[in-house]
Amino acid sequence: MSEKETEQSAPDDAVQYDPDSSRYDLYECPECDNVVLALGRDEPPMSCHDRPMERVTDVEMQVKPPDVKQVLLQAFGLPKAGLDICLCVIGEGPLSASEVAKELGYDRSTVTRYLNTLVELGLLRRSELNREQGGVVNVYHSVDLERMRRETLIGFYVWAGEAAALIEDANLTKQDYLEENPDRELPSVFWEEFEDD
């Protein structure tokens, strides 16, 4: 890809890692290629090769900023309708399943199905409440905020780890290819070969 094409494809709303921001930090090992992400900590979170890891400060690249909806959809395989349901009721509940279905334009059975999916994903809890005329009613509500915070962060880190491993595999494949084929062009064949792996 040419420089011109690279410039044209850069998103307008790209963000850049800011080492001075307290939102998150990147650390790297001065001895090896180990890089870690840390949230909400001021000190290096761990050591590597018996040395404290060092904060990454020289990154100039820009990346497309994540969207919370897309992160949840991608990282947790959350169905979009399920997310719509969660967003629909925040601050509005208690709502009946019929009201949610009407608001979102879904069948009531669809809402019930997605509610159960959200329970299976651990994003909602289901409780059975007694009815005055007998039987029970299912109530779907938020899980404990601390528990949700922990589970969504760990879940996302697992997903990010898988993504990082894919990128690393791609880089190693690219490196191997260039070493084995020093005289060949890379771009047109690299991704095809990687996909075959």
Partner 1 sequence: MPIPRRAVLEQLAAESDATARETTTVVTLAATLEIDERAVEAHLQGLAACELARIDADGNTRVTITGEELLELGTDEVVIVDALGQVSGR
Site residues for partner 1 per CB under 8 A: 85-86, 89-100, 108-109, 111-112, 115, 124-125, 127-132, 134-142
Residues, the chain: 197
* Closer CB to partner 1, 32 or 90, in the complex: 90
Minimum Å gap between C-beta 174 and partner 1 is 44
The residue type of 187 is P
Helix (H, G, I), strand (E, B) or coil at 79: coil
* Closer CB to partner 1, 36 or 97, in the complex: 97
What is the distance between the alpha carbons of residues 164 and 51, in angstroms, rounded to a whole number?
A: 23
Minimum Å gap between C-beta 142 and partner 1 is 4
Helix axes 80-89, 108-120, angle to 10 degrees: 100
Minimum Å gap between C-beta 72 and partner 1 is 14
**Based on the number of CB atoms within 10 Å of its own CB, is 112 exposed (0-12), middle (13-18) or buried (19 or more)?**
middle
* Closer CB to partner 1, 57 or 127, in the complex: 127
